[in-house]
Copies of this chain bind each other. A is one copy, B any other.
Amino acid sequence: MLKKERHDFVMRQINLHNRVLTSDLVQLLNVSEDTIRRDLQELSDDNLLYKVHGGALSKSYHSSFDDSTVYAKDAKIGIAKKALSLIKDGMFILTGGGTTIIEMVKQLPENLQATFFTISPLVAVELAKYPKIEVILIGGLFSKNSQITYGGQVINQLSEINVDLCLMGVSAVHPTDGLTDTDWEINQLKKTMLSSSKKTAVLCISEKLNITLRLKVAALGQISYLITELEPNDESLKPYQAKGLQIL
């Protein structure tokens, strides 16, 4: 591989992941550490990246990350990290949209080999950054509010698949009322997602606990895992644990 090609590769990685590890590059590009270090040094000299111990960071990383407006971002990152433990090589996974899911995708292990179905274009774009992940984007009407596809066509396609795990965010969870939501279409969608997967993990920040909305999505018995930013032994999670949910 030509030096310029390596440089391009590194810059692509940096632009995609905002970071890059020396050790990863050694593996991916099949050259010695010294070569990678010299590459990073040169790119750094050209002001294209920010070299640090262990690898390099994107120049724009800090600015673009700091002024992010994601609500309760830290909590969501915590949730995301817990969700990772459910994901193993070779799995077929279905995901919804939402910032929590996107945070999770950003933290997947670099070499995860898996097949993802998703109704979120943003999730698809993030997933596409992983070399060994196959991505299938379920198409249909595109919702401006939730930035996911929905409608009959999506439901049709979802009903044809059967995956190991479904990861979804929710609007409300309640110990006896289960999952509830306010939008009819999204509701139908989530029902279908549930029935298309062997196990389901619900990702939600604690403020959505113990709330009931108008439309019923599913009973707690239909889901397997509940992932919040709280400690698993937190008092407010006890009622859910009693219902048989596994708390992460």
CB-CB < 8 A to A139: which residues of B? 136-140, 149, 154, 157
Given the complex of chains A and B, what is the CA–CA distance between A149 and B137 in angstroms? Answer: 7
By the criterion CB–CB under 8 Å, are B12 and A63 in contact? yes
Given contacts A3-B53, A16-B66, A127-B142, 12 further A-B pairs with CB under 8 A are A4-B50, A5-B19, A11-B64, A11-B69, A12-B64, A15-B66, A124-B142, A128-B143, A131-B144, A135-B142, A137-B139, A139-B149
Chain A residues close to B by CB (< 8 Å): 2-5, 8, 11-12, 15-16, 19, 21, 50, 52-55, 57, 60, 62-64, 66, 68-69, 121-122, 124-125, 127-129, 131, 134-144, 147, 149, 153-154, 157
By the criterion CB–CB under 8 Å, are A2 and B55 in contact? yes
**Would you give 29 A-B contacts (Cβ < 8 Å), ordered by A?**
A2-B19, A2-B21, A2-B52, A2-B55, A3-B54, A4-B52, A4-B53, A4-B57, A8-B62, A12-B63, A12-B64, A15-B69, A16-B66, A121-B121, A121-B125, A121-B137, A122-B125, A124-B142, A128-B142, A128-B144, A128-B147, A134-B141, A135-B142, A135-B144, A136-B141, A136-B142, A137-B140, A137-B149, A139-B154
In the complex, the 4 A-B pairs of residues with the closest C-beta atoms, listed nearest first? A139-B139, A121-B121, A135-B142, A15-B66
CB-CB < 8 A to A142: which residues of B? 124, 127-128, 135-137
Given the complex of chains A and B, what is the CA–CA distance between A231 and B33 in angstroms? Answer: 50
Interface core residue of A21, A124, A143, A147 (most chain B CB under 10 Å): A124
Given the complex of chains A and B, what is the CA–CA distance between A114 and B81 in angstroms? Answer: 41
Q: A2-B52, A121-B124 are in contact. Are A140 and B144 (CB under 8 A)?
A: no
Given the complex of chains A and B, what is the CA–CA distance between A75 and B129 in angstroms? Answer: 27
**A128: min CB distance to chain B, Å:** 5
Given the complex of chains A and B, what is the CA–CA distance between A138 and B151 in angstroms? Answer: 13
